[in-house]
């Protein structure tokens, strides 16, 4: 499912990025417990038009924390 989110760059500019919603199963110490966490995968590499810094890459997953800036998680093998 596609979703459009606004992410703030370190320069202060707000950028609109299109994401796909994916579910990620983080490793847990208890083998019988399973947890699925909703994360967002960018559709394309996005750069800030103001400063040129790369904000989102397709090989990264984003976890949105309520009331805070988006926390970036780098995952090497998504498939």
Q: Is residue 37 situated within a structural domain?
A: yes
pLDDT at residue number 63? 79
- The mean pLDDT values, 10 residues at a time, for the chain of 79 residues are 85 90 84 83 91 88 68 51
pLDDT at residue number 76? 45
Q: Is residue 56 situated within a structural domain?
A: yes
3-state secondary structure of 40: strand
70 vs 23: CA distance, rounded Å: 17
Instruction: Print the domain residue range for 62.
Output: 2-74
Q: Is residue 44 situated within a structural domain?
A: yes
| Structure tokens that stand for 59 in this block | 């090989």
Q: Is residue 54 situated within a structural domain?
A: yes
Q: Is residue 79 situated within a structural domain?
A: no
Which residues on neighbouring strands pair with residue 21, listed in sequence order? 40
Q: How many domains does the chain have?
A: 1
- 8, 2, 20, 23: which is closest to 53 by C-alpha? 8
């Amino acid at each position: 499912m596609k979703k459009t989110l606004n992410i703030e760059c370190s320069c202060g500019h707000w950028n609109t990025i299109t994401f796909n919603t994916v579910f990620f199963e983080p490793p847990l110490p208890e083998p019988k417990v399973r947890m699925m966490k909703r994360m967002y995968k960018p559709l394309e590499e996005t750069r800030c038009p103001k400063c040129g810094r790369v904000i989102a890459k397709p090989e990264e997953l984003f976890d949105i924390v309520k009331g805070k800036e988006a926390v970036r998680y780098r995952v090497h093998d998504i498939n």
